[in-house]
Amino acid sequence: MNLRIAKEGVQKYVEFIRRALSEKCAADFKRELGTAFGKRTDQGPTPFAEALTSVFVSIADIVQEHQQSVEQEFGPENFVVVVRGLLDEADIQGMRVIDKFVKDHAKVFAQHSSCDMRTVGAVLEETALITQRTQQFHAYIHGVAQSVVDMIEDKSSFIKSLPPGSKEDGLPDITQLLHRVQELVSSYVLVEQAFLLQSVEKAITETDSAALSRCCCCRCGRYCSCCCCRCCCCWNWAKELTSKKRRCFLFGWLCVCVCVCVCVCVCVCVCVCVLLLLLLLLLLLLLLLLLLLLLLLLLLLLLLLWLLLLLLLLFVCLIVCLSVLFMFFV
């Protein structure tokens, strides 16, 4: 097949697939997020993550459906062009989801201290889920491209023909979607730190009657576990994509979060132990007082017995004296 005709055919093929993908994503967004990309009253807990996942799943379905036919018709090197086109469409659709997510939750990211903690926690959970799903798609699409490149015989010529900024698998190293998610992760770290500190403070000072039955350490541990799980999702992402400075920043905040919870738990445990020791000392003092009272009672009883014996002795002496006098006068 003529090279120019093959490129034109692949380009039209990519345009057709991207148009179909765009229409499907628009329908999925309407179903997940509501009419005109607005909110729905019956939407799930993570609608934006699900909408973004539907984009990735649609691309995976297209790859599975069209890969063999494109490779047979145009060659494996041209299927990499198809994958790049799908990746560009993923940027467009993914940016729509993330921009809407950030816009709808702008108050949480800008003024999280004045927001309800449950709302902040839900936004953090969805942010971590968006990051994780994007990471999984990133690994998947590069794996597909690498498997296609491995089938190309003249790899050196193929690599030379790649656009600037491409990896050896033919795909760009950093896309718009990846860069946007990196910015989202940076905002996430600051909110997560404040959320953890507020959660620990609430766990210590909470006076609700239903919560008093739970141990403060257990609550702190639960908050620490949730925050660490979310941080680990973002840390895996940061480890793979972000700069060394940003990785150190994220890892530092993760360590700070863990250290804060550990220190709080240790302090609470120490306070509880001190209180228990004070209670034990108080009980010991009470026991000593009781023992002293018992000893005093015993001494009083002994004194009474001694007095009774003395009275009895005096009485006996009196009887004896009277008897002697009586016998003497008689």
Name the residue among 211, 52, 198 with its Cα closest to residue 121: 198
288 in any annotated domain: no
296 in any annotated domain: no
DSSP state of 113: G
Q: Is the pLDDT of residue 118 over 60?
A: yes
Give the pLDDT confidence of 193-231 residue by residue, as tens digits.
Answer: 888 778 777 776 765 544 444 566 566 666 666 766 776
Q: Is the pLDDT of residue 240 over 80?
A: no
Give the pLDDT confidence of 71-84 residue by residue, as tens digits.
Answer: 888 888 888 889 99
169 in any annotated domain: yes
184 in any annotated domain: no
88 in any annotated domain: yes
Q: Is the pLDDT of residue 43 over 60?
A: yes
- Domain of 142 in residue numbering reads as 3-173
Q: Is the pLDDT of residue 178 over 70?
A: yes
Q: Tell me phi and psi for residue 113, to 5 degrees.
A: -65, -25
Helices 76-104, 176-205: axis angle to 10 degrees equals 40
Give residue 206's pLDDT. Answer: 64
Q: Scanning the structure block, which residue is given the tokens 């210590």?
A: 204
Round to whole Å and give the CA distance between 183 and 281: 56
Number of structural domains (the chain) is: 1
Total Cβ atoms within 10 A of residue 158: 16
37 in any annotated domain: yes
302 in any annotated domain: no
Give residue 39's pLDDT. Answer: 57
- Using CA atoms, how far residue 204 sits from 145, 199, 277, 284, in Å, is 51, 9, 20, 29
Instruction: Based on DSSP, count helices (H) and strands (E) in the chain, helices before strands.
Output: 9, 0
18 in any annotated domain: yes
